[in-house]
Amino acid sequence: MKQIVIAIISIAVVTITLLVDESASFVLKHQPPHTHHHKNIIRNDRSTIMTMMSALSSPPAVPVDKVIVLEDAEAVGQAIRDIVTEAAKKAIEERGYFALAIPGGSILKMLSGDIPNKEEWTTRTIIAYVNHKCVPMNNIELATHAKAKQLFLDSWGVEDYDDDEIDDGLNVLVLDGTNDGIQEATSYETKLKLLSIDKLPIDTTTGLPIFDLALIGVGDDGHIGSLYPNREEVLVGSADGSTTRSCPWVLPVEMKEPPSITLSLPVMQNARQIVVAACGVSDKYPQGKSAGMKRAVSSTDETLQTFPAVGLRESATWVMDKAAASALGEEYNN
């Protein structure tokens, strides 16, 4: 029996080591050219393997006080708009600007609701996308930016930021509009790094950007941004042996056509405030996102690889309607 256990452990260590090599090589391959000198990211030592094992284990469940359960989708949308307003006012009071990261999907609809006196903060706001398809920015079918403009950005007074100096007003960092995932990821990271620290602060310890607020949605398969299960991107900076200072801020994801770009998990985790929102029911899904929220919040057998949303368990506040929370148990629904 002892020999069997030893054999299983040995196989696990070899498997993890191979995953470390593969994921670290992915980082090196897709980093912007100016970061290629960080070749020490491939560190096949014991500490790297232990980090990998930790990342591939199930993290603790989300604390009960970090889960907010509201009546319905309308209430969740209102809560998200209130959170954005409060975070914006706080950031602008402290340093003059508000840095917001937003995804696509249902959160865009939440932001389209009424926000009283929004002009008090939208004129000092910088918006970046958590993820975005590599398509022209006016593609209303595929471009999150085009959808966001139609739903709320135009009414907020948006100005697209490309390579020019950001002026006062609502500025949104947009992609170049090509179908080249690697080029778009490199370009988008460069645009983020060109922002002054009053607009997008930098963590002096990790070297990562600090968004004042990152809004995150969760797919049925657990993806956050464009970090999908059973892919190497979700491990970058978390379990690939790289240091946070060598971790890319933006990754290409060439899983589908067209490809996408996404903020890396360490960048999402480094936001000052992270809010995951889930709500809504349909005839097909009368319990909404309940199955996914159970896996994301409290299941004991989910890992970064099986359900990437668990990577936000220790850092995010989770806001959902009763339908989405219905499978979580009484402790989360009281």
Inform me whether the pLDDT recorded for 17 exceeds 80.
Answer: no
**pLDDT, tens only, 213-231:** 999 999 999 999 999 999 9
Inform me whether the pLDDT recorded for 199 exceeds 80.
Answer: yes
State the average pLDDT over residues 162-167.
Answer: 53
Inform me whether the pLDDT recorded for 38 exceeds 60.
Answer: no
Inform me whether the pLDDT recorded for 9 exceeds 90.
Answer: no
State the average pLDDT over residues 32-46.
Answer: 41
Q: 24, 247 in Cβ contact below 8 A?
A: no
The predicted pLDDT at position 299 comes to 96
- The residue that leads in pLDDT, 164 or 303, is 303
- The residue that leads in pLDDT, 314 or 244, is 314
State the average pLDDT over residues 273-283.
Answer: 89
The predicted pLDDT at position 160 comes to 64
The predicted pLDDT at position 286 comes to 75
Residues 6+ apart with CB under 8 A from 295: 222, 302, 307, 309, 310
Least confident of 14-28, 189-203, 205-219, 302-316: 14-28
Least confident of 34-48, 64-78, 278-292: 34-48
The predicted pLDDT at position 158 comes to 80
Residues 145, 151, 156: CA angle, nearest 5 degrees: 85
- The residue that leads in pLDDT, 181 or 46, is 181
Inform me whether the pLDDT recorded for 39 exceeds 80.
Answer: no
In this prediction, what percent of the chain has a pLDDT beyond 70? 77
**pLDDT, tens only, 86-117:** 999 999 999 999 999 999 999 999 999 999 99
Q: What domains does the chain contain, in order, with CATH numbers?
A: 2-333 (3.40.50.1360)
The predicted pLDDT at position 280 comes to 86
Inform me whether the pLDDT recorded for 37 exceeds 60.
Answer: no
Inform me whether the pLDDT recorded for 44 exceeds 50.
Answer: no
